Amino acid sequence: MKTQDDSLKIGELSSMFGLTARTIRYYEELGLLKSNDRTEGIHRRYPGVNIIYLKRIQQLKGYGLSLGEIKEFFDLAERDPSGESCRDLLLTTYQKRIALEEKKILESRTKILELQERATVLQRLESFFFCPGEECPGCPGGGLCGESRGAGIPGTGR
């Protein structure tokens, strides 16, 4: 329940965002959240602005940023109230993330093509253990297994 000063209890914040109270405390320890002085009951109260901070933390974590990187943004925002330097750093960070994700996509496409080639070769084989010889693109055995093409694996009876 919000008080007249618009502050929230830790349980209210944690349930709003599906976080544990320990996570809220941890974010506070890192300097990502702010709390008011403790009340007589020794309970922390969190100003309502923490709702915005938690939304931003979840958004940035969703984009793959670490808590350390997020802390850097929050610190920068405190030093530069205009938000310009924080915006520039965030843009640079997003551009790096985009490049990283594009690299992952390219690597995945390459792996998919390789798997498709392997599947095509395997469909023509009588047994998994037969060597396809020259039909095996990028043979890891350097073509050595092609010498026993169709012979299977020695000692296996296959």
What is residue 125's predicted lDDT score, i.e. its pLDDT?
76
Residue found by looking up tokens 């060597």 in the block:
131
> Tell me, what DSSP letter sits at residue 126?
S
pLDDT (0 to 100) of residue 156? 47
Pick among 3.40.50.1400, 3.20.190.10, 3.30.70.100, 1.10.1660.10: CATH of 1-64: 1.10.1660.10
Express each pLDDT in 7-29 by its tens digit: 899 999 999 999 999 999 999 99
Query: In the chain, which segments carry CATH 1.10.1660.10?
Result: 1-64
pLDDT for 138-153, tens place per residue? 666 665 565 444 444 4
CB 145 within 8 A of CB 154: no
Cβ-based neighbours of 96, under 8 Å, separated by 6 or more: none
pLDDT digits (tens, 9 = 90+) for 25-67: 999 999 999 988 666 666 778 999 999 999 999 999 998 899 9
**Among residues 46, 135, 49, 74, which one has the least CA distance to residue 149?**
135
pLDDT band of residue 82 (cuts 50, 70, 90) is very high
75: amino acid identity, one letter: D
* pLDDT at residue 109 is higher than 70: yes
Can you tell me the mean pLDDT for 121-139?
Answer: 69
